[in-house]
A and B are shown apart, each in its own frame.
Chain A
Amino acid sequence: MHDALTAEKAGVVATAIITDRFVPTAKAMATVQGMSDYPFAVIRHPIASNTEQTLREKAEEAVRQCVEILLQGEPHADA
């Protein structure tokens, strides 16, 4: 999240991919960085122990969400 937010602040369109169990932390980091509504892709936890097939399915889901987020316009900084 920090990398994506840093890129965004530097004018580079970005997003982050988070597993569902890290969503509260991703939101906390976005808030700390002053972009509390920053959108990010969410896939199911975990990653490390997945089969290749499951990992491919999660990657395809992440790509689908990332494309949607990246095309929806600029994120807003907190007032």
Chain B
Amino acid sequence: MTQLRSPSYDLADIVAVNDLYHRRGWTDGLPILPPTEELVQACLDATGLAPSAVIGVESVRQRPITAEKVAINAVMAGCLPAYMPVVVAVIKAICQPEFNLHGSTASTGGSAQFIVVNGPIRQRIGLNATHNVLANHSRANACIGRAIRLILINVLGCLPGQLDRSTLGHPGKFSFCIAEDEEDSPWTPLAQQRGISAGMSAVTVMAGESPHQTMNEWTRDPEEIVETFAAEIRHNMLTYSIWAGNYALIVPKQLRDLIATAGWQRRDIQEYVYRSARVVRRDWATVGKKQIVNLGKGADQRFSALRSPDDLLVIAAGGPAGGFGAIIPPWLGSRSQAVTQIIETL
């Protein structure tokens, strides 16, 4: 067993452990599993990494995130060792400069790390891609997302009111991790579309605001189905943030089937939304923001939600019944960009 370097505490039982961790601000408010040396070592062993191995560095706060700290927080979150390769890949992804980890975690905008997992690891660890996909069900979804939050709190100091200045935050900040329903999707998996080889497992992570749910069960026309998503994006551009960047679309099976039957591919969805999700500056007057209509380049200034069709992350996920979808808006346009990272397994 490799020697761990973190301080240890001799406490009577799990209640005493949780009392200490809550008092010190080391949790998200929920109880944690005590990170005993044995459990932490099992998580490290699942990665093949030395405790001191640096997974990533947050450049503004100059904090290295070591394998030992990742493993401790993963245990606290309830992760099994088999989840560790996913947690490590997410940390690597969010430490890429284009993710802008400091800005997206410190901002009053209050985003969460929205994680989409592709590839064979999904089934090996039991990640959910179907019923209730954006909420409770699978241990893997819940604990992987939670591990990232605990790492942000305990390693990067993302304490609300300190270096996390979210005015509201959103429930995804507890956990925001899904799998793509590759087995029941007519489309190439998201990670492959973003350059990862078939058969590889990967995570795609974006700084996402809370999901906005949509519903359209009254048409078979793919353009109308996708227009409902585009309309919600336009609404978000006016009521939240105008800036272009990565938006995620969660498309459930019932709508995927109709879209695919009509012959539309994922690319058709991306190109339609690229053309349709646009607003004009004067539209702000319709949502209580008339004070800023004449700023910038004036009332006729046009804005697009996407810089290009590739900005749209189209994700096959959700239960088999219901015409319910969701858009997940970006934190602040392209100031944080989605990152896709291979999951390395032993």
Extra A-B contacts (11), CB below 8 Å, given A24-B161, A29-B61, A32-B61: A2-B102, A22-B165, A24-B162, A25-B106, A25-B162, A25-B163, A28-B159, A32-B62, A32-B63, A32-B157, A32-B163
Min Cβ gap B254→A in Å is: 42
Q: What is the interface residue range for chain B against chain A?
A: 10 to 19
Asked whether B60 lies within 8 Å of A28 as measured between CB atoms, the reply is no
Main secondary structure of the interface of A (DSSP, over half): helix
With A and B bound together, what is the CA distance between A77 and B313 in angstroms?
Answer: 44
Asked whether B161 lies within 8 Å of A2 as measured between CB atoms, the reply is no
Please encode chain B, from 154 to 168, with 1 for each CB lying within 8 Å of some chain A CB and 0 for all others.
Answer: 000101011101000
Min Cβ gap B242→A in Å is: 15
Min Cβ gap A7→B in Å is: 14
With A and B bound together, what is the CA distance between A30 and B138 in angstroms?
Answer: 40
> Which interface residue of A2, A22, A24, A25 has the most chain B CB atoms within 10 A?
A25
Min Cβ gap A72→B in Å is: 26
B157 CB contact (under 8 Å) in A2, A22, A28:
A28
Please encode chain B, from 70 to 84, with 1 for each CB lying within 8 Å of some chain A CB and 0 for all others.
Answer: 000000000000000
Residues of chain A with a CB closer than 8 A to B163's CB: 25, 28-29, 32
Number of chain A residues whose Cβ lies closer than 8 Å to a Cβ of chain B? 8
Min Cβ gap A56→B in Å is: 18
With contacts defined as CB atoms under 8 Å apart, how many contacts are there between chain A and chain B in the complex? Answer: 23
With A and B bound together, what is the CA distance between A22 and B63 in angstroms?
Answer: 22
Min Cβ gap B58→A in Å is: 10
Min Cβ gap A60→B in Å is: 24
Q: Which A positions have Cβ atoms within 8 angstroms of B?
A: 2, 22, 24-25, 28-29, 32-33
> What are some 9 contacts across the A-B interface (CB < 8 A)?
A2-B60, A2-B102, A24-B161, A25-B162, A25-B165, A28-B157, A29-B61, A32-B62, A33-B61
With A and B bound together, what is the CA distance between A28 and B159 in angstroms?
Answer: 10
Closest 8 CB pairs of A and B: A28-B162, A32-B61, A28-B163, A25-B165, A2-B60, A24-B161, A24-B162, A25-B162
Looking across the interface, which residue of chain A has its beta carbon closest to that of B159? A28
Min Cβ gap A23→B in Å is: 10
Residues of chain B with a CB closer than 8 A to A32's CB: 61-63, 157, 163
Residues of chain B with a CB closer than 8 A to A25's CB: 106, 161-163, 165
Min Cβ gap A25→B in Å is: 5
With A and B bound together, what is the CA distance between A22 and B159 in angstroms?
Answer: 13
Q: Which of B135-173 contact A (CB under 8 A)?
A: 157, 159, 161-163, 165
Looking across the interface, which residue of chain A has its beta carbon closest to that of B102? A2
Residues of chain B with a CB closer than 8 A to A29's CB: 61, 163
Min Cβ gap A67→B in Å is: 28
Min Cβ gap A50→B in Å is: 12
Min Cβ gap A31→B in Å is: 9
With A and B bound together, what is the CA distance between A61 and B157 in angstroms?
Answer: 31
Min Cβ gap A26→B in Å is: 10
Residues of chain A with a CB closer than 8 A to B106's CB: 25
Residues of chain A with a CB closer than 8 A to B165's CB: 22, 25
With A and B bound together, what is the CA distance between A24 and B164 in angstroms?
Answer: 10
Looking across the interface, which residue of chain B has its beta carbon closest to that of A31? B157
Residues of chain B with a CB closer than 8 A to A22's CB: 165
